[in-house]
């Protein structure tokens, strides 16, 4: 139904999904959000390229219990070893989105040639991971 690719029914489902050695990317979207359709398509396309290294879920907020760190859509939460390490609210300006999402996946995909590389500050008018979510430094 809609653009979601997974359904989380309760807190136990969140725990089960996060119980992995791989990084987990959860993109929260809404069918009523104009930016979510394109963000979901971009996320899905890039996530497929990194499926062996990263578990990715596209979640519709209408079908998923509220997550305390999601206040709007699209929001991407990134977890490592069950702990949230990054929160992205949107993917920045339209012309930079593909590069930005690809770089985000590469930072968490072990064995990727560009793993560990952050988006260049000059082409990223959006905040760095550290400034976006200071509680998770």
pLDDT in tens, 19-66: 889 999 999 999 999 999 899 999 999 999 999 999 999 999 998 888
- Please give the pLDDT value at position 134: 36
- Yes or no: say if 54 and 87 are a contact pair by the CB < 8 Å rule: no
H helix or E strand, kind and range, residue 12 = helix 11-18
Q: Report helix, strand or coil for 88.
A: strand
Give pLDDT tens digits for 76-127. Answer: 999 999 999 999 999 888 889 999 999 999 999 876 544 443 433 333 333 3
Question: Does 12 or 61 have the greater pLDDT score?
Answer: 61
Give Cα 54 distance to the centre of its chain.
Answer: 11
The pTM of this model reads 0.76
Q: Domain 11-136 carries which CATH code?
A: 3.40.30.10
- At 112 the pLDDT is 56
State the average pLDDT over residues 63-73.
92
Q: What are phi and psi of 133, to 5 degrees?
A: -140, 75
Which residue, 137, 28, 22, 6, is CA-closest to 82?
22
């Amino acid at each position: 139904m809609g653009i979601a690719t997974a359904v989380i029914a309760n807190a136990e489902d969140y725990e089960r999904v996060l119980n992995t050695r791989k990084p987990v990317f959860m993109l929260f979207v809404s069918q009523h959000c104009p930016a979510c359709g394109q963000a979901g398509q971009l996320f899905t396309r890039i996530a497929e390229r990194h499926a062996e290294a990263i578990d990715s879920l596209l979640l519709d907020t209408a079908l998923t219990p509220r997550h305390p760190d999601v206040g709007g859509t699209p929001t991407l939460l990134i977890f490592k070893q069950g702990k949230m390490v990054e929160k992205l609210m949107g993917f920045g300006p339209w012309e930079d989105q593909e590069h930005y999402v690809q770089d985000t996946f590469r930072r968490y995909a072990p064995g990727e040639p560009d793993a560990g590389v952050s988006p260049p500050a000059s082409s990223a008018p959006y905040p760095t991971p550290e400034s976006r979510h200071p509680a998770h430094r």
